[in-house]
Amino acid sequence: NNVLWTLSGDGSYWGYNDAKGEQFGSSNAPYTNMNLTSDLFKNVKKITINTSGAKDTNALLNVYVGDKLVGDAIELTADATEYSLTLDKITSGNVKLVYTQTSSKAIYIKSIVVETVSGLATTEQEIHDLLELGLDYITLANDIEVDTFVVVAHKFTLDLDGHKISAIHDLDNDHSTYGLYAKGGAQITVTGNGTIYGGTNGWWNIALRASGEGSVINVLNGTFYSGPNEGEEDNGNSTMFVNGSSTINIYGGLFYTEASYDGIYFVFNVAQENHATATINVYGGTFVNANPKDGQHIAIVGRPFLAEGLTIKTEIVDGNKYYTVVEE
């Protein structure tokens, strides 16, 4: 079904058996160690494998999704046998079959079936519903508008798939809107080259916020920006904000705010009372009018956000300075 599997190991013979399936190794060229790996599967719930060995094979199979071992080790028999392994928690990651044997025999695989749960969301509520089901990889199916999108405690990947999240509603009437707000130890990875907009309907209009103890947002790519304060076109807001002992890690993407505040473009913002514990780490990306290495924020937080071994390339476009992270 167009799934690519990568084989590694110490054998050197392949064949086929009508009853038992694909043959890996032989008595003269056995696989004493054999790994069969396929790249990212999203939201795996069950894996079924039909596998066996030659007569008198002494071999074990362990199955992994990501780093997680699924079920108990399977002891191969000489008969083609189907084994079903159900994950105790829906998990995303590479699927890996790890065979080891102390004998010198052929190993056979007749079929591999990986069952997954759809993680496609069309609304903010559907994202929350999928999180409650335990999914750890959610893909946005279209642009959505959110009521301050808050995620508490969950660990998952949000794949924007080219779509946009716009925070346009002040949910709690506290003059704030957030495109993505991680709290209560939530750990969120954002990918898919989409956009998150923090809005412009309050006094705090922030694209990414991580708050509390141990909340983390990892940004791999995309565009992230915030509008000015409500009714104040020249009074800007923050693109990213962290407090408590939380962290935002930037690996790529474009970040900007549409207006400055007292002459400073607050693309980066760390709560003053949490300078020693809350962090923004920059490993990549482009930042408009805000230099993660030595910009105006240094006077505010007292340290650069740029990781060691990296530097900045500066370009001016339409009067705005674009700071792009590059290797030294």
Mean pLDDT to the nearest integer, 29-54: 97
Angstrom distance (rounded) from CA 243 to CA 74: 47
Element containing residue 111 per DSSP (H, E): strand 107-116
**Mean residue pLDDT across the chain:** 94
Residue type at position 142: N
310: nearest Cα among 326, 292, 293? 326
Q: pLDDT value at position 263?
A: 85
Residue type at position 210: A
Residue 159 in this model has a pLDDT that exceeds 70: yes
- Is the distance from CB of 85 to CB of 143 less than 8 angstroms? no
pLDDT band at 193 (very low <50, low <70, confident <90, very high): very high
Q: pLDDT value at position 295?
A: 77
pTM, rounded to two decimals: 0.89
Residue type at position 128: H
Residue 172 in this model has a pLDDT that exceeds 80: no
For residue 21, give every residue at least 6 positions away whose Cβ sits within 8 Å of its Cβ, in sequence order, or none.
Answer: 50, 51, 80, 108, 109, 110, 111
For residue 75, give every residue at least 6 positions away whose Cβ sits within 8 Å of its Cβ, in sequence order, or none.
Answer: 59, 60
Residue 299 in this model has a pLDDT that exceeds 80: no
Residue 203 in this model has a pLDDT that exceeds 90: no
pLDDT band at 233 (very low <50, low <70, confident <90, very high): low
C-alpha R_g of the chain: 25
CA dist 100 → 32, 83, 194, 241 (Å)? 5, 17, 43, 49
Q: Name the token pair of 119.
A: 């993680």
Angstrom distance (rounded) from CA 93 to CA 64: 9
CA dist 22 → 13, 46, 108, 138, 159 (Å)? 11, 22, 5, 34, 35
Residue 69 in this model has a pLDDT that exceeds 80: yes
Angstrom distance (rounded) from CA 99 to CA 82: 16
292: nearest Cα among 309, 311, 279? 311
Angstrom distance (rounded) from CA 271 to CA 259: 20
Residues in the chain: 328
